[in-house]
């Protein structure tokens, strides 16, 4: 079996895209490759890291070696933050219509129909750096580990991120770019 050239460039982004989207087709679109490449890659990474990463009840998730995966995701997030706003992984709630994303931003991951707790879980597990959601989804508030940043003047769209990352320059740049784009809609 061929070794993964770079787990941070090829492996984890595919696993992350599958967890967020729940679909090999959506992951392939985001990764700009074909669906069969996504399937082969996630199976190879799962086997190499002994993750038992599979789709169960409509969601992709690892069920084995979770501490290794958590450590790799933390390192991957730090690498994305170091590389800049254009490398951050973010998603937009399916009900929001954002303007066309412009450089240097990467396109958002398309989210599957997930309830709010799932979005928060993806942030906590560092699958996502930012989640853009309608404010109505936050009626119950957010936990202290998650910070909310309003992206529009009327506060109808918010970004969620880990509170510990809130003042990182790359995250602030992403939030400022999203705020600017939403102000122009």
How does pLDDT run across 128-149, given as a tens digit for each residue? 999 998 888 777 778 889 999 9
The pTM assigned to this predicted structure is: 0.88
CA distance 84 to 75: 15
Angle between helices 12-21 and 35-49 (to 10 degrees): 110
Q: Strand pairing partners for 133?
A: 158
Q: Which residues in the chain land under pLDDT 70?
A: 1-5, 99-104, 110-116, 185
Q: Which pLDDT does position 135 carry in this prediction?
A: 82
Taking the C-alpha atoms of residue 137 and residue 155, their distance in angstroms, rounded to an integer, is: 12
pLDDT at 97 (0 to 100): 72
Distance of CA 25 to the CA centre of its chain: 16
Residue 165: what pLDDT?
A: 95
Cβ(116)–Cβ(158) below 8 Å: no
Q: Which residues of 56-72 are buried (b: 16+ CB within 10 A; e: fewer)?
A: eeeebbbeeeeeebeeb
Q: Quick one: which H or E segment has residue 132?
A: strand 130-134
Supply the pLDDT for residue 81.
96
Domains in the chain, CATH or no CATH each:
1-83 (1.10.10.10), 84-185 (3.40.190.10)
What's the length of the chain? Answer: 185
Contact between 109 and 21 under an 8 Å Cβ cutoff? The reply is yes
């Amino acid at each position: 079996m061929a070794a993964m050239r770079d787990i941070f460039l090829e492996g984890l982004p595919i696993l992350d895209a599958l967890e967020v989207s729940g679909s090999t087709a959506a992951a392939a679109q985001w990764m700009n490759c074909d669906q069969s490449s996504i399937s082969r890659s996630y199976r190879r990474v799962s086997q190499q890291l002994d993750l038992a990463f599979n789709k169960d009840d409509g969601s992709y998730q690892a069920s084995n070696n979770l501490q290794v995966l958590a450590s790799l995701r933390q390192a991957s997030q730090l690498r994305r933050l170091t590389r800049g706003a254009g490398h951050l992984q973010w998603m937009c709630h399916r009900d929001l219509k954002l303007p066309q994303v412009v450089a240097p931003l990467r396109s958002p991951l398309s989210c599957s129909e997930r309830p709010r707790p799932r979005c928060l879980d993806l942030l906590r597990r560092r699958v996502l750096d930012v989640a853009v959601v309608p404010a109505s989804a936050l009626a119950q508030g957010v936990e202290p580990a998650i910070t909310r940043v309003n992206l529009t003047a009327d506060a109808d769209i918010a970004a969620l991120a880990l509170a510990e990352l809130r003042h990182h320059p790359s995250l602030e740049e992403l939030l400022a770019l999203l705020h600017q784009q939403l102000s122009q809609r």
